[in-house]
């Protein structure tokens, strides 16, 4: 499979995850509080799949290859995408840091949770759209067949390092999160 298609497929799982977070925020606003375990899974997914698996391949493989092809011409675009990844990490940390207070229904921590959920969902939805519809097509047009093959090999090695079942285990987390919301 084309490495850019792999990334787009991973975006599909991340979008499903973001949909779960949006529903959870709606439930909180209606004073129907998803259990802490839902958010523990959300943080785990963000840190393992989105960050260490998916964003790793983008930041340390794809972005580097594309940047090298353009001798700095695309640095602003790539820097923006990297900054969005970093902002997402900060929001996930803020969500994780508000969990104890959320569980105790501390109004300030619940408000922090809602604020960071909304910002995170919005940021990543826009970010994914730009990658899928602007950056990946640009990269596909710039990379040769040999470079795409090398990219695919680096992605294969990244999957081995992360664990062959990373996608499947992460998919299960997202499905479990959705199930939690349905059965509240």
CATH number, residue 123: 1.20.120.520
Instruction: List the domain range (segments joined by +) for residue 93.
Output: 3-182
Q: How many domains does the chain have?
A: 1
Cα angle 129-133-135, degrees, rounded to a multiple of 5 = 100
Contact 132, 11 (CB under 8 A): yes
Give dist(CA 170, CA 159) in Å, integer. 13
Which tokens belong to 159? 């999957």
- Statement: residue 73 has pLDDT above 80: no
Arithmetic mean of pLDDT, 84-112: 97
**What's the CA dihedral at 13, 15, 21, 27 to 10 degrees?**
-110
pLDDT at 139: 92
Alpha carbon 17 to chain centroid, angstroms = 8
- Render pLDDT for 111-165 as a digit per residue (tens, 0 to 9): 999 999 999 999 999 999 999 999 999 999 989 999 999 999 999 999 999 888 9
Predicted structure pTM score: 0.94
């Amino acid at each position: 499979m084309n490495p850019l298609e792999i990334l787009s497929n991973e975006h599909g799982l991340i979008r499903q995850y973001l949909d779960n977070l949006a529903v959870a925020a709606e439930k909180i606003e209606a004073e129907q509080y998803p259990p802490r375990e839902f958010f523990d899974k959300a943080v785990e997914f963000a840190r393992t799949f989105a960050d260490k698996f998916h964003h790793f391949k983008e930041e340390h493989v794809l972005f580097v290859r594309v940047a090298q092809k353009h001798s700095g011409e695309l640095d602003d675009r790539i820097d923006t995408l990297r900054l969005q990844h970093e902002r997402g990490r900060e929001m996930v940390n803020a969500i994780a840091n508000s969990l104890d207070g959320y569980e105790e229904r501390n109004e300030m921590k619940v408000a922090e949770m809602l604020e960071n959920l909304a910002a995170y969902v919005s940021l990543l939805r826009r970010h994914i759209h730009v990658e899928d519809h602007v950056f990946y097509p640009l990269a596909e047009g710039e990379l040769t067949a040999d470079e795409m093959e090398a990219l695919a090999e680096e992605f294969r090695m990244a999957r081995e390092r992360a664990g062959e079942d990373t996608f499947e285990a992460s998919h299960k987390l997202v499905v479990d999160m959705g199930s939690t919301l349905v059965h509240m």
